[in-house]
Structure 1
Amino acid sequence: MAIEESISVMKARVEELKGIVEDQRGRKNEYAAIISQQSEALTACKDKCNQNREHREQIEEAISWYNKVLGFRIECGHGVKFIFSSISPKNPNEEYSFTIRHENEKYTLLNCDPHLSDTKELVYELNKTNGLFKFVRTMREKFQEAVARGITPHGSSLDQDSSIVSLSAPVASVSSDHRYESPLKERGLQFSESNSKSRKVGKGHIVHSPGSASSLRRSSRLKVTYMNVNG
């Protein structure tokens, strides 16, 4: 009788162990599936990092081209300041600039030096279409036209009338918050709140800028679409 009871206990123990083994096998398969998913996610993440690295290199190349050919740079402070040189043929180092701010899904032109008369219409169109880089390109062309009429910068000031349009922009592209970190800022461009003092040049000079819209469109080095200030 004792032997039969012992055998019965052993059989029960064997069945219990079989259940444990099956449970562990199920967990093993579950963990293997999780590991496989995580491995795939890691691979995708690495691929994206590589793509981002290539994208960043393309952006850096485009920025370098803009700085070299157009004398273009950006400063962050009270809004985002777009600065152009190589506008005046008599004084290529003379700087033309405007400061734009994006807040509450609305663009505001804080400052423009020299003052342009038709900026309100341009800002309205910017808020309507969210075409920031088309706006930047157009502003540069307006600066060229201003030079042709003998208008030169007078130095930055924030007491100029702001061009505010209440139409919301479709997507927020530019932040004026001091915490804003654009791709340009990450690459160590000259970001500061200092304003440049510019020398005045004579009036009546025609501009033949090497950085016109047509020449930029012909450039094969502009690989980054959303960085295309001239297109």
Structure 2
Amino acid sequence: MTRPLTLIVGAGAGLSAALARAFAARGDAVALAARDTDKLADIADDTGASRHSCDAADPAQVAALFAALGTAPRTVVYNPSARVRGPITEVDAEEVRHALEVTAFGAFLVGQAAARAMLAAPARDGIHGTILFTGASAGVKGFPQSASFAMGKFAQRGLAQSMARELHPKGIHVAWINIDGRIRNPGRIEAADAPDSMLDPAAIAQSYLALVDQPRSAWSEELSLRPWVETF
């Protein structure tokens, strides 16, 4: 039997690596996509994942990515985001445009391509697949001097809501995950007096797996994850 394929877009160290390990451990074939594939060598070696070069904000590159997979993915995770910090009166407009292209337009391109591929493939037990968008608290509340990130994540969240209402009845589970806190990525150290104050990537990955495994009679559309010490 062919192994189900999981595609992780915007792959890198930290959360993406944890997701790759978690999906590979359950028996999925894993494909990793990023603009720089050299940085994916270690995780690809660990998981047997394939590597694909792709700028998620480029329609032609996204189309080429899905064509290169050779089979429809059962799970697609969209991780990329970009932000420009600064006062609204000073932030560079072109840098903001780029941030929106990565965070929002790229999410649309990958979500569209994933839906097309999944719907064209046979369903299993009435389900074609799962599309997950990695969000942030900026998609729920805008923070000062972070307009581009708020716009991008609000747009991404709206995209996921729209896709969920359209695609859930067609057998595709769509969900947006609010990562409400800092992730314990490589090189990012918690304060000695604040253990578990950052989200553990492996723990986040388990929540993604739980979304994929949800029975369709009770699908989540959104999920918020935060460390136990995070204030609301």
TM-score when scaled to structure 1? 0.24
TM-score when scaled to structure 2? 0.24
Higher RCO (C-alpha 8 Å, min separation 6) = 1
